[in-house]
Amino acid sequence: MDHGVREPERLGRTRLPDGRLLGWAEWGPADGTPVLLCPGAATSRRLAFGGDAVDAAGVRLVSVDRPGLGASDPAPGRTLTDWAVDIGHLVRERTLRAPLAVGFSQGAPFALALAAHRLVRAVAVVSGSDELAHPRFAHSLNPRARDMVDAVAAGPGAAEASFAGFGGADALWELIITTSPETDRAVYTDPVFRHAFRRAMDEAFARGPAGYARDTVLAMSRWPFDPAGITVPVDLWYGQQDTSPVHSPDLGESLARLIPTATRHLLPAAGGALLWTHAEDVLRSLLAHAR
């Protein structure tokens, strides 16, 4: 199985007002409903989801490399707010009228930042990282995640340097495989999917580890927006078999209470890879908000 991964139909880079280039990849009809994908940790714009369902649903899927990853130029010290500013420019330059957004894993806070800045009509958070530094998780974090949150709180610069020294694509792949349940390993180790996933990770680290390190600092920090202020529809998708230490500790339960427009979808038999195992369900629900 390919689990819905395929080669991009269009690749490019958009110049931002400060001169940086932001890399993107597209699938589906160029005149389709724009859906911005905020990928997971240390993966590039090339890792798609949905396969033929994207074309069938009339979706223009646009995956964007965050600064310092893949084809996007670095932006040292960037914030989630800076990301929203970058995407606001991309939306205008690429004529992405009234887009929707999907945030997978560590991409979740980046997608929610777009919602908080009213750049998108609706968001699907899929196996998303939560606001791990929030006090509501003070006693429920996995020890690995707790150490990362505490390190960022103690000194963001030192923590960022430590994350940069973590290694690279090989080390992160090993971490993903060893912390995933069997239902996810079956997806990740499928030969076709594994090739696409590993290539996306290699591309993400092509400029070095700084982009990944900055993303991780942002993911382990308090968010610069209040989830309770989000006014667009938010679908929270979680698999009950998900064992990732850096996804939501309560599988989105408290986040669903915080976001007044949120709907939580908890799938008993799914794990963290449900962006690829349940892509049609995610897209169908997201597109319903655009009607």
Residue 291 pLDDT > 90, yes or no? no
Residue 1 pLDDT > 80, yes or no? no
Model confidence at 56, pLDDT cuts 50, 70, 90, reads very high
- pTM for the whole structure: 0.97
Per-residue pLDDT, 224: 98
Residue 166 pLDDT > 90, yes or no? no
Per-residue pLDDT, 2: 79
Structure tokens at 221: 């920090």
- In 3D, which of 288, 181, 172, 173 has the Cα closest to residue 238? 181
- In 3D, which of 67, 57, 96 has the Cα closest to residue 218? 67
Tell me the C-alpha distance between 39 and 156, whole Å.
23
Could you tell me if 66 and 72 are in contact, meaning their C-beta atoms sit under 8 angstroms apart? Answer: yes
Our CA angle for 172, 282, 247, nearest 5°, is 35
Q: Which of the 8 DSSP states describes residue 103? A: E
Q: Which of the 8 DSSP states describes residue 106? A: G
**pLDDT tens-digit profile of 61-78?**
999 999 999 999 999 999
Residue 55 vs residues 30, 62, 100, 115: alpha-carbon distances, Å: 10, 13, 16, 25
Model confidence at 44, pLDDT cuts 50, 70, 90, reads very high
- In 3D, which of 82, 103, 95, 92 has the Cα closest to residue 36? 103
